[in-house]
Structure 1
Amino acid sequence: MTSQKPSQSRRQLFIYDQRRRSKVLFEPLNERVTMYVCGMTVYDYCHIGHARCMIFFDLVQTVLESAGYPTVYVRNITDIDDKIIARCQRDEASPKQLTQRFIDAMWQDEAALGINQPTHQPRATEYVEQMITWIERLLEAGYAYVGDNNDVYYRISKFESYGCLSGRSVNQLVAGSRVDADPFKEQPLDFVLWKQSKENEPFWESPWGRGRPGWHLECTVMSQSLLGETIDIHGGGHDLCFPHHENEIAQAEPLTKKRFVNHWMHVGHVEIDREKMSKSKGNFFLIRDVLKQYTPSEVRFFMLMSHYRHPVNFSEDNWLSARNALSKIHRVCDDYLRSHRLVLDNGFIPQACWDAMLDDFNTPKVFAILFEIIKLYDQASHQQDSDLIDQCGRQVVNITEWLGLSVVSDIAVDATLVDSLIQKRSLARASRDWQQADEIRERLSEMGIVIEDQSTGTIWRVDRRSARHDGESR
């Protein structure tokens, strides 16, 4: 296989858009792509289902930018919610203390997975004033009403396009969904925009009394505030298509008179025994627990070996398959880099890989091409064909890096241990015990952890490349 350097112009990309229910040419509105992804409600540790969304949209940003599309990536943090309030009462913690604890844990998990942080991570509580203004506009336009309980509801009967994302009528949606009985609603699918707070619950002052915003409103307002009236890409898990994303459209489009999102992307569930993994069912595995058994690259390979729109089954067989496949990739990377300098350049990614990736991020096909190149590499090694070894080796290394996998065998990461060592190192530095601080840094380095001291504290990430590959060929 031959490699082709990408031109300076943008590569053509096709994405499956849920609203149009077809694969369409990606046509961003401006030079810089805007992408919004629904993030976590931070009342507990992140599970492996969250990891699939984190990993996939991390890949999307990498591919977009390598294909000539500079990207602003926003992923929100829901830091006020009924589940958060319940957890605060259980743990006897304030909402700020509890949410910061789990935000820090989320960032630890991302660092352990080697995931780049989004451009912006807005918190819902930072945008309550804008949410109140949005509700007032919806009320004025007749798309919302105040119930007898002083909660504010969205009036779905007013929005004729309701159901456009899921492709179902209102009657079909009512029949197919579980809707809590609420005597204050005009219709079963009407949803809360502003909820009155109970005694000892967090609240904000509003024209309708002390309360807090509804969950669906948060993403509409934060995305509009940071990315504008129309977003190029809006993503999230498949379960968010209805009602969350459907409701986002209903809240946005009547006021802007514009299409809210041009490309809707939904990631399939992680399943256990063909059943969706979820905290409510109790059939979930935390990211930090999985990383004690599998390496960051094994987790990433596992998530990418199925097409993002399809579910992936959490089974021992699938994990072993990911581990074995990744070991073949690392074998070639290690063999090639023993005698060649590491050169990272998208120009060494074969056109066939670009074609597959730019066809709605077809990672299974990219992997299939990668393993064909590995076969060629093995044949070239057997025949001692140095030119073909060099060509195939460069391709394997660059495809591997492009996918966000380590180019060398990595190790499982215990985020709790890493944080504990960083805290010990901070204490050692504070007491001017430079020897102990250096010893801890060296131990972290041996674990594959890179640390960076900043004015606000020490941050860390997983080093996806061995230092011995950064120099000249040997």
Structure 2
Amino acid sequence: MLRIYDTRARQVEEIAAGRAVRMYTCGPTVYRHAHVGNLRTYLLSDLIRRVLERRRVRVLACQNITDVGHLTDSGSDKVLEQARAEGRSVGELARFYEDAFRDDTSALNIRPPEHTPRASETVDLMIELIARLIERGHAYEVPDGSVFFDVQTFPTYGEISGNRLDSLKPAHRIDAVDPRKRFHADWALWKPSSGELTWDSPWGRGFPGWHVECSAMSLRFLGAAFDIHVGGIDLRFPHHEDERAQSNAATGHEVVRHWVHGEHLLFDGRKMAKSTGNVVLLSDVAAAGLDPLAVRMAFLEHRYRQQLNLTWDTLRAADRTVRRWRARVAEWSESPSAPMAADYAERVEAAFTDDLDTPSALRILRDLERDESVAPGAKFETFLHLDQVLALDLSTEIGKARVLPPGAGELLEARGRAREARDWEEADRLREELAEMGVRVADTPDGQTWT
């Protein structure tokens, strides 16, 4: 069974799965395109799902869609501001970027979750949760209609991030030292407002705080206890700490069994963020002539809880590997059938279940690719079998007419000239470069051939 690092437990633990596993993932705020750093989290959820489903475990997944900007604590309504900037209604803007997000995840072969509730359509669930927290003594209303979570009623606060409640200091923000709060670390569950995108509630018209959303949705769609909660490492504090406190306080027990976090993604050594202008979209990857699944391959080359520094060079290398493997699989498909290479397959499967050790899995597959003692038909069966987890579409070239990738024709001509000049070192170098592009060259008495 899958063993994975639990952030709260601070150790690798086994997912004690029966016939079904329930998993929640913090979803996107749909007011702009998701960049590839955002998409890394959803690949993590997809890998967990695929590895578990390989073991005949049914996965029930829920992922929220934040389509109301002021459900964040940013102090501004991002969705509303962006809608005005683009000349759209809030609904039009949110649906546009929600569809774009689905297109991106589909291009990365990320399977869609069973439930994708929108924040704007589930405010009633959030109001019910807030009322329950007040009733259980974990939240309090103040005269202006605000409702705050009373964090001092939740003694295990900080178990995910390691931040102790007694050592938390007020942040450098006005609301962090709000005199209405009983304790400076209390956070808003409901905020009064008479502006756009507000709702009626027992405490007056307003809108819910950001952290309420995920608690309300996960409890509604996955039940009062579920197995896995996935998110980016940046959400560990305060979002996941606050979410855990709300959910546990509302139910009286530990709701989430395992908290799983993916690490940051850098691009060219810098954090990927719109504020710094260091943003790469999946559409940018396609515009550069690379297969979108090169991004998936580049992610698989690194452990999910390892910080990844992505570059255009690493993306191009990943693209070459994907194309080469597709060409190999197409070539092997024409060989006599043979049983799967069981030893290799078992080692790759073991890597998958060992805290999603995809880098080791890929190294083993490269060894299999080079192993001349394994029949081509066995390689074919093994690669396709394991592609059910890798999801690199390795079968797409089977049965297609062989077409050289861009630039390969020039390299073949250059290699032919090198052979005529008896420059064997240059010929070997070009052979290796062509192999990286998925073109296998063979020398015959009549000249070089390629597949």
Q: Is 1:357 the counterpart of 2:352 in the alignment?
A: yes
Q: Give the direction of change, closer, same or farther, for the CA distance of 1:128–1:347 in structure 2 (3 Å limit).
A: farther
Aligned residue number for residue 308 of structure 2: 312
Q: Give the direction of change, closer, same or farther, for the CA distance of 1:364–1:194 in structure 2 (3 Å limit).
A: same
Aligned residue number for residue 211 of structure 1: 206
Give the deviation of 1:408 after TM superposition: 4.7
CA distance in 2, matches of 1:106, 1:342: 41
Aligned residue number for residue 187 of structure 1: 183
Q: Is 1:396 the counterpart of 2:389 in the alignment?
A: no
Q: Give the direction of change, closer, same or farther, for the CA distance of 1:94–1:197 in structure 2 (3 Å limit).
A: farther
- Are 1:349 and 1:399, in contact at CA under 8 Å, matched by a contact in 2? no
- Are 1:272 and 1:313, in contact at CA under 8 Å, matched by a contact in 2? yes
- Are 1:159 and 1:254, in contact at CA under 8 Å, matched by a contact in 2? yes
- Are 1:373 and 1:396, in contact at CA under 8 Å, matched by a contact in 2? no
Structure-to-structure mapping, 1:239-250, within 5 angstroms: 239-250=234-245
Structure-to-structure mapping, 1:293-312, within 5 angstroms: 293=288, 294-312=290-308
Aligned residue number for residue 61 of structure 2: 73
Secondary structure, in 3 states, of the residue corresponding to 1:36?
strand
**Aligned AA for 1:216?**
H
Aligned residue number for residue 317 of structure 2: 321
Give the deviation of 1:24 after TM superposition: 1.0
CA distance in 1, matches of 2:46, 2:241: 24
CA distance in 1, matches of 2:167, 2:330: 55
Q: Is 1:42 the counterpart of 2:30 in the alignment?
A: yes
Q: Is 1:287 the counterpart of 2:282 in the alignment?
A: yes
Q: Is 1:276 the counterpart of 2:271 in the alignment?
A: yes
Give the TM-score of the pair, scaled to structure 2: 0.80
CA distance in 2, matches of 1:178, 1:239: 19
**1:163-210 per-position Cα deviation (integer Å, ceiling 9, x unaligned):** 0111221244437x66553423333321111122243x1111011111
CA distance in 2, matches of 1:78, 1:146: 25
Q: Is 1:53 the counterpart of 2:41 in the alignment?
A: yes
CA distance in 1, matches of 2:87, 2:153: 42
Structure possessing the higher radius of gyration over alpha carbons: 2
Aligned residue number for residue 408 of structure 2: none
Give the deviation of 1:325 after TM superposition: 3.0
Give the deviation of 1:291 after TM superposition: 2.5
Q: Is 1:159 the counterpart of 2:150 in the alignment?
A: no
- Are 1:179 and 1:189, in contact at CA under 8 Å, matched by a contact in 2? no
- Are 1:349 and 1:398, in contact at CA under 8 Å, matched by a contact in 2? no
- Are 1:348 and 1:398, in contact at CA under 8 Å, matched by a contact in 2? no
Give the TM-score of the pair, scaled to structure 1: 0.76
Q: Give the direction of change, closer, same or farther, for the CA distance of 1:79–1:340 in structure 2 (3 Å limit).
A: farther
Aligned residue number for residue 6 of structure 2: 17
CA distance in 1, matches of 2:299, 2:120: 32
**Aligned AA for 1:14?**
R
Give the deviation of 1:63 after TM superposition: 1.2
- Are 2:24 and 2:62, in contact at CA under 8 Å, matched by a contact in 1? yes
Give the deviation of 1:409 after TM superposition: 6.6
**1:295-349 per-position Cα deviation (integer Å, ceiling 9, x unaligned):** 1221110111100011111212322332333344233212102346799x99897
Which among 16, 23, 36 is matched to residue 27 of structure 1? Answer: 16
Secondary structure, in 3 states, of the residue corresponding to 1:264?
strand
Q: Percent identity among equivalent residues? A: 34
Secondary structure, in 3 states, of the residue corresponding to 1:271?
strand
**1:269-303 per-position Cα deviation (integer Å, ceiling 9, x unaligned):** 11124332123333211222223222122111011
- Are 1:33 and 1:72, in contact at CA under 8 Å, matched by a contact in 2? yes
Secondary structure, in 3 states, of the residue corresponding to 1:266?
strand
CA distance in 1, matches of 2:222, 2:46: 18
CA distance in 1, matches of 2:32, 2:355: 32
**Aligned AA for 1:390?**
G
- Are 1:179 and 1:188, in contact at CA under 8 Å, matched by a contact in 2? no
Aligned residue number for residue 433 of structure 1: none
CA distance in 2, matches of 1:217, 1:340: 58
**Aligned AA for 1:19?**
R
Which among 215, 218, 221 is matched to residue 223 of structure 1? Answer: 218
Q: Which runs of 4+ in 1 moved over 6 A?
A: 345-349
CA distance in 1, matches of 2:150, 2:387: 49
- Are 2:282 and 2:292, in contact at CA under 8 Å, matched by a contact in 1? no
CA distance in 2, matches of 1:346, 1:116: 27
Secondary structure, in 3 states, of the residue corresponding to 1:263?
strand
**Aligned AA for 2:33?**
Y
Q: Give the direction of change, closer, same or farther, for the CA distance of 1:304–1:280 in structure 2 (3 Å limit).
A: same
Deviates more, 1:283-292 or 1:235-244: 283-292
Secondary structure, in 3 states, of the residue corresponding to 1:280?
helix
Q: Give the direction of change, closer, same or farther, for the CA distance of 1:252–1:295 in structure 2 (3 Å limit).
A: same
Structure-to-structure mapping, 1:140-159, within 5 angstroms: 140-159=135-154
**1:362-392 per-position Cα deviation (integer Å, ceiling 9, x unaligned):** 100100111111111xx24xxxxxx622223
Aligned residues, how many? 387
Secondary structure, in 3 states, of the residue corresponding to 1:407?
coil
**Aligned AA for 1:250?**
A
- Aligned-residue Cα RMSD (Å) equals 2.4
CA distance in 2, matches of 1:73, 1:349: 30
Structure-to-structure mapping, 1:161-176, within 5 angstroms: 161-174=156-169
Q: Give the direction of change, closer, same or farther, for the CA distance of 1:400–1:69 in structure 2 (3 Å limit).
A: same
CA distance in 1, matches of 2:143, 2:137: 17
Aligned residue number for residue 260 of structure 1: 255
Secondary structure, in 3 states, of the residue corresponding to 2:266?
strand
- Are 1:216 and 1:247, in contact at CA under 8 Å, matched by a contact in 2? yes
**Aligned AA for 1:228?**
G
Secondary structure, in 3 states, of the residue corresponding to 1:215?
coil
Q: Give the direction of change, closer, same or farther, for the CA distance of 1:140–1:328 in structure 2 (3 Å limit).
A: same
CA distance in 2, matches of 1:155, 1:85: 30
Give the deviation of 1:262 after TM superposition: 0.6
Aligned residue number for residue 449 of structure 1: none
